[in-house]
Amino acid sequence: MEGGISNYLQNQIRQAQQIENQIEQIGSQKYQLEVRIKELSKTIEELDKVTDGNPIYRSVGPVLYKVDDRNKLVEELKEQKELSEIRINTIAKQQKALEEKYKEIEEMIKKAYNEGKSK
């Protein structure tokens, strides 16, 4: 092993880098969902303040259209929020599993590196 690191160690480092990238991607997805949930919560809260008779408009792309059934809209938004919360829980579990795998690989790399240095 003179002059370089073993193939095993190189593979472990590559795997750790891939896991690190996955953790970053999942973190980004989680953040986006958290923002979406806050947005939905605020929208639902504001819709609850609207009195009957006041028009409500919904944005679909660049077009606004009038909503006839406020309750139906609120239910749709609540469902979207619930689905986003479920997705966040799933992502959090994935993130935790990846972080544990990363720690395992990190320990294996340290061990292999230290064993290589002592030879």
> 4-34: per-residue pLDDT in tens?
677 888 898 999 999 999 999 999 999 999 9
Check whether domain 7-118 has CATH 1.10.287.370, yes or no:
yes
Q: Where are the domains of the chain?
A: 7-118
The model carries a pTM of 0.78
Question: What tokens appear for 103 in the block?
Answer: 């720690």
Distance of CA 116 to the CA centre of its chain: 38
> Residue 24 to residues 13, 19, 90, 94, 108: CA-CA distances in angstroms?
17, 9, 15, 12, 21
pLDDT band at 2; cut points 50, 70, 90: very low
Q: Which residue has the tokens 């829980």?
A: 89
